[in-house]
Amino acid sequence: MDRPLEGLTVIEMAGLGPAPFACYLLAGLGAQVTRIEASGRDAVFLPLDPLTDPDRMMRDVRRLDLKSEDGRGEAMALIATADVLVEGYRPGVMERLGLGPEDTCPKNPQLIYARMTGYGQNGSMAGRAGHDLNYIALSGVLSMIGGKDGGPIPPLNLIGDYGGGTMVMIMGILAALFARQSTGEGTVVDASMVEGSAMLATPIFSFMASGLWQGGKRGSNLLDGGCPFYDTYETADGGHMAVAPLEPRFFAVLIDVLGLDKGWAERQYDRTAWTELREVLTGLFRQKSRDEWTALFAGCDACVTPVLTPGEAPHHPHNEERAGFQDIAGHVMPRLAPRFSPRPKDR
């Protein structure tokens, strides 16, 4: 069952980032996605190879002049027979085109109208421009990422755009499709990257509520680089190892492999010992290359792994065994996830 969404029809209003990435994932799961791109100078896409650009892969592309009555009519005809509409414009843009929910949903009462914005469809900042960094800044997430002695560090655009944006939008779409089975009615999905990224941080907010996280002290907590047994360490060849034995039983394995004094097991969560432990680990990991450390920790539960580059990751033995990457038009690309077991009739 590698195409569980086969038969689902999706109309995508062309854009960049989280909304088209959601359509890429929906298409990869079997949905029929038609991407409407504005013709002329309003066309929105980066000059990337469409065979490897997730903003355009696996779609039927229609170029329409949405400023003309004919173009809007063609778009409306497509939307009127679709299961899902996905758009990522600022609030009000679709309404000005005559393609907002009040225009389309009466013609297609079962339509799932999915809207992706940074700040949401309403509120004092709804119409403001922004990017991932702005959204995770406003959600409180960015303040927790970075070293203790420096400022917040941009964590690529994975948290706001693709975690709090794409994945939250897909969750909303699938939930709305499930509800439609019993109600027979569609709905509007309002996905905000500020709210989505804040939701992803719910466990951290819970830690703060329980006094287990110092919200105002970046780089001082268990998962933010403040803890010596949840961090990365440079190796002799300039590589890095990720060290994450949070649980005592895994930490005990780390101690054993490194030949450290067993007394460290009792001091693992003693914060007064963390500075010394970090110095010890820093010195040890600089004594061998990344590959040597990888071989030393292979097959044991110390929660220690090499930090691979994007070029190296596809060739790691485990990733090769799982076929986690694939060749597309001569380029290595990640394979879609998750995986599904075959249905009985497909076995």
Whether CATH 3.30.1540.10 fits 231-306: yes
The Cα 278–Cα 276 span in angstroms is 5
The Cα 9–Cα 219 span in angstroms is 45
Give the per-residue pLDDT at 347. Answer: 58
Average pLDDT value for residue range 113-126? 97
- At 89 the three-state DSSP class reads coil
With a cut of 90, say whether residue 91 has pLDDT above it. Answer: yes
The Cα 163–Cα 153 span in angstroms is 17
Average pLDDT value for residue range 46-51? 76
- How many H helices and E strands in the chain? 12, 11
Give the per-residue pLDDT at 38. Answer: 87
- At 165 the three-state DSSP class reads helix
Q: What confidence tens digit (pLDDT) does each residue in 213-241 have?
A: 988 789 999 999 999 999 999 999 999 99
Give the per-residue pLDDT at 286. Answer: 98
Q: Within 13 Å of residue 237, how many CA atoms lie on the same side as its CB? A: 11
Give CA torsion, residues 144, 146, 147, 152, to 10 deg.
-90
**In sequence order, what are the beta bridge partners of 189?**
114
Q: Where does the pLDDT of residue 46 fall: very low under 50, low under 70, confident under 90, or very high at 90 and above?
A: low
The Cα 91–Cα 298 span in angstroms is 51
Q: Where are the domains of the chain?
A: 9-200, 231-306, 313-346
- Amino acid (one-letter) located at 182: S
β pairing state of 112-117 and 84-87: parallel
With a cut of 90, say whether residue 29 has pLDDT above it. Answer: yes
**Residue 64: both structure tokens together:** 């329409």
Give the per-residue pLDDT at 40. Answer: 66
Residues 251/265, Cβ–Cβ less than 8 Å: yes
Nearest to 88 by CA among 24, 25, 169: 169
CATH class for the domain made up of 9-200: alpha beta
With a cut of 90, say whether residue 185 has pLDDT above it. Answer: yes
Q: What confidence tens digit (pLDDT) does each residue in 4-20 have?
A: 999 999 999 999 999 99
With a cut of 60, say whether residue 310 has pLDDT above it. Answer: yes
Q: Where does the pLDDT of residue 60 fall: very low under 50, low under 70, confident under 90, or very high at 90 and above?
A: very high
Q: What confidence tens digit (pLDDT) does each residue in 130-162 have?
A: 999 999 999 999 999 998 888 999 999 999 999
Q: Where does the pLDDT of residue 47 fall: very low under 50, low under 70, confident under 90, or very high at 90 and above?
A: confident
- ∠ Cα 297 300 304 (to 5°): 50
Tell me which residues are annotated as active site.
Answer: 131, 161
Q: What confidence tens digit (pLDDT) does each residue in 243-269 have?
A: 999 999 999 999 999 999 999 999 999
Give the per-residue pLDDT at 186. Answer: 97
Structure-model confidence comparison of residues 329 and 281, the more confident one: 281
The Cα 57–Cα 49 span in angstroms is 9
Q: Which DSSP category does 335 fall into?
A: P
The Cα 120–Cα 128 span in angstroms is 10
With a cut of 60, say whether residue 44 has pLDDT above it. Answer: no
The Cα 119–Cα 191 span in angstroms is 9
Q: What confidence tens digit (pLDDT) does each residue in 319-343 have?
A: 999 999 999 989 999 999 999 988 7
Q: Where does the pLDDT of residue 45 fall: very low under 50, low under 70, confident under 90, or very high at 90 and above?
A: low
Nearest to 134 by CA among 142, 146, 122, 144: 142
Give the per-residue pLDDT at 291. Answer: 97
